[in-house]
Amino acid sequence: MPTIKTQTLTHVYSMGTPFESVALENVNIEIAQGEFVGLIGHTGSGKSTFVQHLNGLLLPTSGRVFLDGTDLNSSKKLRHEMRFKVGLVFQYPEYQLFEDTVYKDISFGPRNMKLSKSEIDERVREAAGFVGVSEALFDKSPLEISGGQKRRVAIAGVIAMRPSVLVLDEPTAGLDPEGCESILKNISNYRTATGATIILVSHSMEDIARIAKRLIVFEGGHIVIDGSPEEVFSQADRLKSIGLDVPIATDLATRLRELNIDVPECCYTVPQLRDAILSLKKEGTRC
């Protein structure tokens, strides 16, 4: 049974007004437990609208959303429970920090789950550990810490609910390369440790290429491509025509093939390209 399933999911904003717009149209998708999915699409393609249906923040105009086989919208109580199972981290999550202390902010989710004090404490420490927030920060105000630390605290606040599905909208936006690397590693580690399903919305083709195993491409409210990074990035022209791009390594591989250098089709990261070129060199020196 898929963890997430949508059936002819459609969402229309401002219906009946002059600003009416169809953000999603007949979206059918299935995502299995433990998958690492990247969602890409130009601004306005429907990705953010889509992810907000996964924990009931938005309701479908028509169609259905199922979590573990149950229709998310069959009851208000169920929708409420879903918010703890599907954790949603918005872009620039540090804007959602509000408590007096880092500890209290991270504990907000678990506190609303009717857990015991000791369970809440365990969750806070575990979540902080996952994202590299040191316990020395627990008593500080979230407003006092650096931007990168704020980002981590916000993500910890969602992970503390131990969601089985973690959705992150541009978690690396505005971070420097070291910060990006570290956040992506934390997300991978969370998935490995808990078996959670990860859905990563991103505009960075390079980030997505590095860690996602399946890419879903949105365009104009529809899913237009759904496949492995190899399958998706091999359609460079198509992606570019819909406002997206391919990783630089892919463009480089294409150019090399035009220059009669035989690098395989499926290179979309620098390490893959490096390995392909190094093995071509070895073959060259053998003859």
Partner 1 sequence: MKPIIQVKDVVFRYDGEENLPPVLNGTTLDIIEGSFVVILGHNGSGKSTLAKHFNGILTPDEGCILVDGMDTRDEARLLDIRRTVGMVFQNPDNQMVASVVEDDVAFAPENLGFPPDEIRTRVDEALKLVDMYDYRLHSPHLLSGGQKQRVAIAGVIAMRPRCIVLDEPTAMLDPAGRHEVIGTIKRLCRENGITIVLITHHMNEAIDADRVFVMSNGKIVSEGTPREVFSNVEALKAEGLTVPDTAELLYELKLGGFKFPEGTLSLEETAQAIAAALK
Residues that bind partner 1 (CB under 8 A): 19, 41-44, 91, 146-148, 170, 173-179, 203, 205-206, 243-245, 247-249, 251-252, 255-256, 259-261, 270-271, 273-274, 277-278, 280-281, 284
Cβ proximity to partner 1, 67 vs 267, nearer residue: 267
User: Which is closer to partner 1, CB of 38 or CB of 41?
Assistant: 41
Which stretches of 101-235 are DSSP H helices?
A: 102-111, 117-131, 147-159, 177-194, 205-211, 229-233
27 and 223 in contact (C-beta within 8 Å)?
yes
**DSSP H helical ranges for 52-95:** 76-85
Beta partners for residue 166, in sequence order: 87, 198
| Closest CB 16 distance from partner 1, rounded Å | 18
Distance CA 77, CA 46 (A): 27
Closest of 42, 45, 52, 5 to residue 25, by C-alpha: 45
Shortest Å, Cβ 42 to partner 1: 5
Question: What is the smallest separation between the CB atom of 247 and partner 1, expressed in angstroms?
Answer: 7
Closest distance to partner 1 from the beta carbon of 14 (Å): 11
126 — phi, psi (to 5°)?
-65, -45
Nearer to partner 1, 195 or 264 (CB): 264
Nearer CB in complex with partner 1: 154/161: 154
Considering beta carbons, is residue 33 or 269 the nearer one to partner 1? 269
Nearer to partner 1, 175 or 266 (CB): 175
Min dist CB 145 to partner 1, Å, is 11
**Residue linked to tokens 């290179």:** 267
Distance of CA 158 to CAs 97, 134, 187, Å?
11, 17, 12
Q: Shortest CA distance to 199 belongs to which of 1, 95, 47, 93? A: 47
- Smallest gap from Cβ 107 to partner 1, in A, equals 26
Torsion angle defined by CA atoms of residues 58, 28, 189 and 103, in that order, rounded to the nearest 10 degrees: 10
CB 104 → partner 1: shortest distance, Å?
Answer: 23
Structure tokens at 3: 């963890």
In this complex, which beta carbon is closest to partner 1, that of residue 107 or of residue 172? 172
